[in-house]
């Protein structure tokens, strides 16, 4: 253990000690990345070893920021299946479509990865009280991992986050508050109070280790594809920690000599009612303007501004990827279509990647034999409020044809 070397600013490259608590770069206010002694990892670890380890994201522990394994706070997150979508592929004329099924993570979303990493590091550095704004699932995951670590947690969430998130936070004992407004308003309202009280800010990308949990999606993808990478990744983007993390993971894997220089085209998808990154990408900008009146059923995408906007846009640009905004109507219809075709009950954010895949096919930006990976970032069961079936009563006397009507 102990391959973590320092934190490095993604903008001005200032370095910081990993033995103290940090948020953003003290010099320029940008995002910090953990950096490792990859030479030593390369000399001491073989990529074939991972297959013999536990089926969680902690199988990559040499590339994770924790020094003492006793500090790892885990509920079994990661190593989610990469499932073929054969029927979806057939309908769209594509031969190799897969989904990374993140809905199987603890607390039902991939937020578990980020919070397992962040809470573990907070525990290692002696944090007693933390705070965070959340659009829903991050709060649920933080509440679970903080409960497990014995860290007191203050959460502020928009009042209209899915009911299940409020229940999860409450049941895990987090001090949970609702606010009229969005996640950025929640963040602002927490900041002053948190500073005054000395609460550690665990906001995504303002806390340097959540991204390390999310990057493991990139490691798993490489391992599950036999140490190669797919041609296209479609990712539902809110704060962007997942895409930024995977992009970092690919860079690390190449530095380790475990993959080559081939990169997937990174395609980001957002909701038409809140698409600041798509707008910025399409206008060729390096930063995104905040989105006004953000509105979408996909709670995880209701993020009007992202501190890591420049990192998201860089990954899309450097990879030769693209961006799509899809409507709530498309998302809701595609939730049903995906479940009916594949038995996969995706969250609306995950269904949005399917909507975006259709747009890619329509725009002829993907070839029939290219390997495409969608990310279903959460379980559809967390969003049952969005699906209201009106089911008929079973009448055994009816002839069989009537039952199908």
Ligand X SMILES: *Cc1c(COP(=O)(O)O)cnc(C)c1O
Q: Which residues bind Zn ion (CB under 5 A)?
A: 9, 11-12, 14, 25, 27-28, 30
140 binding ligand X? (CB under 6 A): no
- Residue 9 binding partner per list ligand X, Zn ion, none, with a CB distance cut-off of 5 to 8 Å that depends on partner kind: Zn ion
Tell me how far apart the alpha carbons of residues 305 and 299 are, in angstroms, rounded to a whole number: 14
111 binding ligand X? (CB under 6 A): yes
From candidates 78, 162, 276, 300, binder to ligand X by CB under 6 A: 300
Q: Are 374 and 368 in contact (CB under 8 A)?
A: no
Sole window of 176-184, 186-194, 230-238, 360-368 interacting with ligand X (rule: CB under 6 A)? 230-238
106 binding ligand X? (CB under 6 A): no
215 binding ligand X? (CB under 6 A): no
Sole window of 39-47, 73-81, 215-223, 232-240 interacting with ligand X (rule: CB under 6 A)? 232-240
Closer to ligand X at the Cβ: 200 or 375?
Answer: 375
Contacts of 364 (CB under 8 A, 6+ apart): none
Q: Are 239 and 144 in contact (CB under 8 A)?
A: no
The minimum distance between CB 380 and ligand X, in angstroms, equals 10
Q: End-to-end CA distance of the chain: give it in Å, rounded.
A: 61
Closer to ligand X at the Cβ: 38 or 386?
Answer: 386
The minimum distance between CB 376 and ligand X, in angstroms, equals 8
Closer to ligand X at the Cβ: 190 or 299?
Answer: 299
- Residue 137 binding partner per list ligand X, Zn ion, none, with a CB distance cut-off of 5 to 8 Å that depends on partner kind: ligand X
Closer to ligand X at the Cβ: 100 or 121?
Answer: 100
Beta strands in 162-250 (DSSP E): 175-179, 200-201, 232-236
296 binding ligand X? (CB under 6 A): no
**Residue that has been written with the tokens 């895409």 in this structure:** 243
The minimum distance between CB 204 and ligand X, in angstroms, equals 6
Beta strands in 160-273 (DSSP E): 175-179, 200-201, 232-236, 265-271
349 binding ligand X? (CB under 6 A): yes
The minimum distance between CB 291 and ligand X, in angstroms, equals 14
In the bound state, the residue with its beta carbon closest to ligand X is: 300
| Side-chain-facing half-sphere of 304: CA atoms under 13 Å | 14
98 binding ligand X? (CB under 6 A): no
65 binding ligand X? (CB under 6 A): no
241 binding ligand X? (CB under 6 A): yes
Is residue 292 helix, strand or coil?
coil
Residues near ligand X (CB under 6 A): 109, 111, 137-138, 204, 236-242, 300, 347, 349, 377-378
């Amino acid at each position: 253990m102990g391959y973590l070397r320092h934190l490095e600013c993604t903008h001005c490259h200032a370095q910081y000690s990993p033995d103290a608590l940090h948020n953003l770069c003290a010099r320029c206010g940008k995002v910090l990345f953990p950096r490792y002694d990859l030479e030593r990892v390369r000399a001491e670890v073989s990529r074939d070893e991972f297959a013999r380890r536990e089926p969680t994201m902690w199988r990559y522990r040499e590339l994770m920021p924790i020094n003492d394994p006793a500090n790892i706070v885990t509920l079994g997150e990661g190593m989610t299946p990469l499932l073929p979508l054969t029927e979806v592929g057939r309908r769209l004329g594509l031969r190799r479509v897969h989904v990374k099924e993140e809905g199987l993570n603890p607390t039902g979303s991939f937020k578990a990865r980020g919070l397992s990493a962040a809470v573990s590091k907070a525990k290692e550095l002696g944090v007693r009280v933390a705070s965070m704004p959340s659009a829903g699932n991050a709060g649920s995951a933080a509440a679970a991992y903080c409960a497990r670590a014995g860290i007191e947690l203050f959460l502020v969430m928009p009042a209209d986050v899915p009911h299940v998130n409020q229940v999860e936070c409450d049941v895990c004992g987090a001090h949970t508050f609702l606010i009229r407004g969005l996640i950025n308003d929640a963040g602002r309202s927490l900041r002053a109070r948190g500073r005054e009280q000395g609460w550690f800010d665990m906001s995504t990308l303002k806390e340097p280790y959540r991204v390390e949990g999310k990057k493991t999606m990139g490691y798993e993808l490489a391992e599950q594809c036999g140490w190669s990478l797919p041609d296209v990744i479609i990712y539902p983007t809110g704060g962007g920690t997942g895409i930024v993390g995977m992009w970092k993971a690919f860079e690390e894997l190449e530095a380790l000599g475990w993959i080559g220089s081939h990169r997937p085209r990174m395609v980001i998808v957002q909701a038409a009612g809140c698409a600041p990154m798509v707008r910025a990408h399409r206008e060729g900008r390096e930063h995104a303007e905040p989105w006004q009146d953000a509105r979408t059923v996909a709670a995880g995408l209701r993020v009007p501004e992202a501190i890591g906007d420049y990192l998201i846009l860089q990954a899309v640009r450097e990879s030769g990827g693209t961006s799509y905004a899809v409507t709530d109507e498309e998302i809701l219809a595609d939730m049903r279509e995906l479940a009916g075709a594949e038995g996969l009950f995706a969250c609306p954010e995950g269904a949005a990647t399917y909507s975006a895949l259709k747009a890619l096919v329509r725009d002829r930006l993907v070839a029939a034999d290219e390997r495409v990976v969608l990310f279903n970032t959460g379980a559809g069961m967390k969003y049952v409020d969005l699906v209201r079936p009106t089911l008929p009563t079973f009448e055994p006397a009816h002839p069989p044809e009537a039952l199908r009507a």
